[in-house]
Structure 1
């Protein structure tokens, strides 16, 4: 737990975190648990350890998975006060635009956009009925700084998620529901390491060369390191909290200074 955290800050709050089994999602689940929230997380496969959170195994790339999760959080927690969409990623190969098939494009949008759209549609009505709630969509700086080598479709899907989030905020803000976006840069997680390995395999180079290629494509990280999952989780918790009660329809970038413009 961060030393400044209030262990009762989210006491009584019901929090749903998608993609909560690893990386930034796992760190986010832990952050809310440490602050007293009742937390449910979801992923396709049950992790070995759920950290005390309720868990639902659901494939959110399918409409049925989103419905099953919405029903579970309503039945087990009685609804949701904070909805955090961390689920996302890319499994596309390296090789640029020509290497991306129709299936790669469809998978990118089914993973990075549609789960948020479906769950929002299912769960926001109860927030609107109460007149309160917080939604955080995790996008990526790639919506502004795409890496063409392997993640063009991912970057396009995250751009769509950010635009959708802004439109949603304008609609539901007057009804008491806050919507914000967190856009991380390079977070060094298992998924980031897998991307490095895929690029190395497609180029015939080494993981070190692939890692440096990503840094070069990003223009470097002025802070000198990728963000940690816990860094992202801390920003998400702040935006979900009462401390951010006037922050709405905003995008917060957490990239160590990677994006070179204001």
Structure 2
């Protein structure tokens, strides 16, 4: 399995894990991380991939719909027999550029449907199972755009991620006394395959090199002090740590992984 870091194969042995959006980018890296560590993993996305590790259960669904989340909750309970860890990775932006005036109600609703409601709905369906057993861990993947929005193109995405982070804090206060921890991972720019394609498009459009395109993006973000986007496996490692017993006292927290992009404490 292609994963750049050494993983202890018994770390999550026997743990039942759901990873949403697990067929590409951070989601796929997270699936690999848990599978390497001995977990029983179920993942879901709109499209499959041949890169999933052996033994990982894939269920095709559209989590932007209530029907999709209902299906996944049923499959988790029937195929895994319960749930110990939920990593909500699914998300993204498809809003048109041009600022607030270009955004329709549909644009706003699509972003909320993809970036907020999948976590809300799946938690509502699966957290009761965690409460019955008295333990569990939930990690929501938000974004630094919740505090550093890009008004030119991703206003609804940033607002939805802000809502997800706020919801996460509320949820942690309610269920952590009953044994379930809730935390947030907020990445900045991540070097995924999709972002590499995007850089090539920028380079071709502006007749510059890919490296120059990368620098243009970093400049637009206000700079990344470490000089590069995060690796998807680095984000997966943080998700795994927060899900592990080693993070047993971490609850209701947000961990930013952005190479220093956000310029304030």
- Give TM-score scaled by structure 2 length: 0.92
8 A Cα contact 1:143 1:155, kept in partner: yes
Specify the alignment match of 1:28 in structure 2.
30
Aligned residues between the structures: 260
Specify the alignment match of 2:10 in structure 1.
8
Equivalent position to 2:135, from 132, 137, 142:
132
Q: Pick closer, same or farther for the CA change 1:222–1:183 going to 2, 3 Å.
A: same
Structure 1: distance between partners of 2:213 and 2:108: 23
Equivalent position to 2:243, from 232, 240, 244:
240
Unmatched tracts of structure 2, length 5 or more: none
Q: Pick closer, same or farther for the CA change 1:194–1:91 going to 2, 3 Å.
A: farther
1:159 equivalent to 2:162? Answer yes
Q: CA RMSD of the aligned region, Å?
A: 2.0
8 A Cα contact 1:178 1:248, kept in partner: yes
Pairwise CA distance, 1:197:
7.3
8 A Cα contact 1:31 1:233, kept in partner: yes
Equivalent position to 1:229, from 204, 219, 232:
232
Structure 2: distance between partners of 1:3 and 1:26: 15
Any idea what SS the aligned residue of 1:180 has? Answer: strand
What is the 5 A alignment of 1:38-117?
A: 38-52=40-54, 53-117=56-120
Any idea what SS the aligned residue of 2:137 has? Answer: strand
Equivalent position to 2:19, from 17, 40, 51:
17
Larger mean CA deviation between 192-201 and 220-229 belongs to: 192-201
Q: Pick closer, same or farther for the CA change 1:2–1:247 going to 2, 3 Å.
A: farther
Structure 2: distance between partners of 1:96 and 1:193: 24
8 A Cα contact 1:94 1:198, kept in partner: no
Structure 1: distance between partners of 2:101 and 2:218: 22
Structure 2: distance between partners of 1:200 and 1:101: 29
Structure 2: distance between partners of 1:233 and 1:62: 25
Pairwise CA distance, 1:210:
6.2
Unmatched tracts of structure 1, length 5 or more: none
What is the 5 A alignment of 1:206-217?
A: 211-217=214-220
8 A Cα contact 2:168 2:182, kept in partner: yes
Pairwise CA distance, 1:199:
7.5
